[in-house]
Structure 1
């Protein structure tokens, strides 16, 4: 059976959302990030990314990771694509061309969206969003997102989803963009993108994984 390693409060939420959408059976091993623990190597510490047994799975000490038979993957978007292709039905590609399109959206999410969006997340999470320095970081990150969001906005002008139906492509891009979602002007200037993101996050599968995330310790 397919196994996902990682807590919901991590990039593991991406493949966990895909799995919830396609209702594929899997085993979940909640590996927590070592940096979130005061004593990751101490007695009684939960399974975490610094432990030798997990480093044997992913030497980078990051989550998520996935085992599916003999296959081991350690990049969240590659895991999403694998699950969608193998178990996802309409969530995955229906042709070689669709597979290429889905891969393009995955790379777009990872390279054009996530780096700047996560700057907004970290600045907000660290309580710096209202400081002059933090505001400068967020404004610069939003400027970096201007062209990617313009691309999304135009693409979503006359369609509901990134492809001709809801797919793993929507999950991957939506999850990367979510990091910058707390900065209200970002989506206020992109109504088509805001509509699309709200529709993705209103899906029952997302609500399920989001509630599980909320139930985990911060």
Structure 2
């Protein structure tokens, strides 16, 4: 049986899927495709026609989109990482979609300004607007974590993995969410996981 192959580099959104793969503990091949020219060539486009990372090949399955990859990996290989009830499964899907719809678009506005826009062309109003509007979803997350350690069930799961992996970029841009104490506590626990350290150590 061939090993699953995961394409992408840790210094990109692919960190989400690399972290997810490391959480499963299975043997896999990491192919460090970047978001540059090597993800636009014919060989890679045959894996992910969008020309983006990450992507996964597992047997006959070819899969793109980090949330889908993590949900698949957790369900197939992750054991307790994936919920056991239909209700918790639905909540896991909910939080996974929530992360990329409520957090990521606003977060990326700040990322683009701080990391990809020349300093003399940055628009501080964009950062201010996104920072202000991120407070609403952060309050939602903070309330959901009131009196509990994890988003779904009583242990770290793919729901936590998916939301925390989206929010991992907040550390890169120096975004302070410490006023949301439950979010801070939860994020600290997520980012202390050895699987994330292993993922970040990869190219």
Give the superposed CA RMSD. 1.9
TM-score, normalised relative to structure 2: 0.90
Alignment partner, residue 26 of structure 1: 28
CA contact (8 A) 2:177 2:183 kept: yes
CA distance in 2, matches of 1:97, 1:163: 10
Where do residues 107-126 of structure 1 align in structure 2 (5 Å cutoff)? Answer: 107-126=97-116
User: Secondary structure of the equivalent of 1:187?
Assistant: coil
- Find the aligned partners of 1:124 and 1:58 in 2 and give their Cα distance: 28
Partner of 1:158: 147
Q: Choose which of 7, 10, 19 in structure 2 pairs with 1:8.
A: 10
1:92 is aligned to 82
Shift of 1:124: 1.8
After TM superposition, give the deviation of residue 151 of structure 1 in Å: 0.5
User: CA offsets per residue over residues 42-84 of structure 1, 9 Å max, x none?
Assistant: xxxxxx1111111111111001111112111111100000000
Distance 2:88 2:56 in 1: 23
Task: Decide whether aligned partners of structure 1 residues 148 and 2 sit closer, same or farther in structure 2, where only a CA change above 3 A counts.
Answer: same
Q: Is the 8 A contact 2:113 2:122 kept in 1?
A: no
Q: CA deviation at 1:160?
A: 1.0
Query: TM-score normalized by structure 1?
Result: 0.84
Q: How far apart, CA to CA, are the structure 2 residues paired with 1:211 and 1:2?
A: 19
Q: 1:184/1:49 Cα in 2 relative to 1: closer, same or farther (>3 Å)?
A: closer
Q: Unaligned 5+ residue runs, structure 1?
A: 35-39, 41-47
What pairs up with 1:132-143 in 2 under 5 angstroms? Answer: 133-143=122-132
2:201 match: secondary structure: helix
Give, in angstroms, the shift of residue 201 of structure 1. Answer: 0.5
| C-alpha distance 59-132 of structure 1, shift in aligned 2 (>3 A) | closer
Which structure ranks higher in relative contact order (CA pairs < 8 Å, sequence separation ≥ 6)? 2
